[in-house]
Structure 1
Amino acid sequence: MFTGIVQGVATVESLESRPGLTTFVIGFPEDSVAGVTIGASVAINGTCLTVTAQEGNQLWFDAMQETLRMTTLGLLEPGSRVNFERAARIGDEIGGHLLSGHVHTTARVVSREQPENNCTLTFEVPAAWQKYLFPKGYIAVNGASLTIGDVADNRFNVHLIPETLRATIFSDIQEGDEVNIEVDSQTQTIVDTLARMGYDRPQA
């Protein structure tokens, strides 16, 4: 499990693509992977991956074809910057909301507005995921737990403070980019349960 509090930004050092599998070598900031073990879980842009090897501050991860298809990991290349979070431990503070690291879908950035001291990003998700979008609800974008601002059909926005921009790759994101989305599990459960009972959410 993860908390949605991004612990920093890492960089893709290299990758090797083979039939059905891509191996990523990712470099992390000094001391951020201290104590990591082979088999540990790390969220890369919100996608839970397993550590397969380590050398200093570099970690190796394998991503299957299905993972590449369902997420934006297939778009990464050497030099790409990514958000990362190591798996939560019992007793850790949950500063965001609980995440599984299983990406549900991707979204496209449709606008970026950056007035002084804040930034508003607007995203568009596939229509099938619109029913899980609620103003002031939780959502994870590239592994970061964020509060939804406004919702209009299958579009929603988030408002980011300077610290969030500094600590994540949101400072890099521009209109047209794709991001990973994990909807809030509690919201998904409630919406799906009501739908099974015949109380489907009216579509705008």
Structure 2
Amino acid sequence: MFTGIVQSIAQVVAIDDRPGLRTFTLEFPPGFLDGQEIGASVACDGCCLTVTRHQGPQRADFDVMQQSLNLTTLGGLQVGSRINVERAARDGVEIGGHPISGHIDCQARVASVRRPENNHVLRIAVPPAWMRYVFPKGYIAVNGASLTVAEADRSAGWFEVWLIPETLRQTTFGDKAEGDALNLEIERGTQVMVDTVRDTIDERLGPLLPALAALLAEPDIAARLQARGIDVAAATATLQLR
């Protein structure tokens, strides 16, 4: 388990490809690997990887299977790439972010970057199937960092995070540009709650959902609902996300 508080930035210094397996050699800042044993876990851009070999005090090897290369951004890393890293949490450690498993759910992409004074805003586009788990003021892990969702538009399929200078200093987010891929891990408590509600609705209202969607598409019905302050577009998007 990890806390989502990125501890440092590591750099890819070597890549070794074999059939179905890729080995990354990462270089870490001085002291990061102190006391670490073979078999320990490190979150690399949010992906839980196992240390397979140490090469001196600042370098370690990690094996990554083909499935992980396909699912995550690790498949796009090259020599010189920089990534966020965090060692596995220990008992009694302060959890400054939220519990993270290191199992990536999907890739997202940077839709836009804004830079208000002393802030840095990333708008992140999310695959529709995962957007149902993203809520304003909720937690989400992006490249291993526990971040708070500032704004979210579920119908448009994006959310925004605001990053302070300290976060930019400690992570690679300042390097990200429009179109760059990111690893997302959904907060598990949110996922369980949403899936439980969805399953309950399916059991009780499932046969009625097509009829409800058709009603919302009727101009007269939509106008009456909007007159009562109901956001018809959001309701329709919710049905579609199901």
Fold match by TM threshold 0.5: yes
Q: Shift of the alpha carbon at 1:62?
A: 0.3
2:200 & 2:35 partners in 1: Cα distance? 47
User: Greater shift after overlay, 192-201 or 72-81?
Assistant: 192-201
Corresponding residue number in structure 1 for 2:9: 9
Cα distance in 2 between the residues matched to 1:171 and 1:130: 24
List per-residue Cα deviations over 1:159-202 (Å, max 9, x = no partner).
Answer: 00000000000010111100000010100010011111117995
* Pairwise CA RMSD: 1.3
Q: Which amino acid in structure 1 is aligned with residue 180 of structure 2?
A: D
CA–CA distance in structure 2, aligned partners of residues 109 and 18 of structure 1: 31
Within 5 Å, give how 1:160-199 maps onto structure 2: 160-198=163-201
SS of alignment partner, residue 50 of structure 2: strand
1:197 partner SS: helix
Residue 58 of structure 1: CA displacement?
0.3
Q: Could you say which structure has the larger radius of gyration?
A: 2
Q: For the residues of structure 2 that align with 1:74 and 1:28, how far apart are their CA atoms?
A: 20
Matched, 1:113 2:114: yes
For residues 33 and 178 of structure 1, the distance between their equivalents in structure 2, rounded to whole angstroms, comes to 27
Residue 211 (structure 2) aligns with: none
Query: TM-score, with normalisation over the residues of structure 2?
Result: 0.82
Considering Cα pairs closer than 8 Å and 6+ residues apart, tell me whether 1 or 2 has the greater RCO.
1
Which structure 1 residue ranges, 5 or more long, are not aligned?
none
Q: Where does residue 94 of structure 1 map in the other structure?
A: 95
Total equivalences in the alignment: 204
Residues of 2 paired with 1:19 and 1:155: CA distance?
A: 36
Amino acid at match of 1:180: N
TM-score, with structure 1 as normaliser: 0.97
Q: Which residue of 2 aligns with 1:53?
A: 53
Q: Return the alpha-carbon distance in structure 1 between the equivalents of residues 183 and 60 of structure 2.
A: 21
Structure 2: runs of 5+ lacking an equivalent:
206-233
Equivalent residue number for residue 75 of structure 1: 76
- The structure richer in strand per residue is 1
Superposition deviation, residue 17 in structure 1: 1.3
Rounded to whole Å, the distance in 1 between the matches of 2:166 and 2:183 is 21
1:49 CA drift (Å): 0.2
- Specify the code of the residue in structure 2 equivalent to 1:145: S
The structural deviation recorded for 1:116 is 1.6
Which amino acid in 2 is paired with 1:60?
D
For 1:191 and 1:24, the matched residues in 2 are separated by 36
Counterpart of 2:31?
A: 31
More helix by share: 2
Q: Which amino acid aligns with 1:8?
A: S
Aligned AA for 2:69?
A: L
Q: CA deviation at 1:140?
A: 0.4
Question: What is the DSSP-based 3-state SS (H/G/I as helix, E as strand, rest coil) of the residue aligned with 1:115?
Answer: coil
Q: Residue 84 of structure 1 aligns with which residue?
A: 85
What does residue 104 of structure 1 align with? 105
Which residue matches 1:131?
A: 132
Q: Percent identity?
A: 53
Q: Which runs of 4+ in 1 moved over 2 A?
A: 199-204
Distance 2:199 2:39 in 1: 38
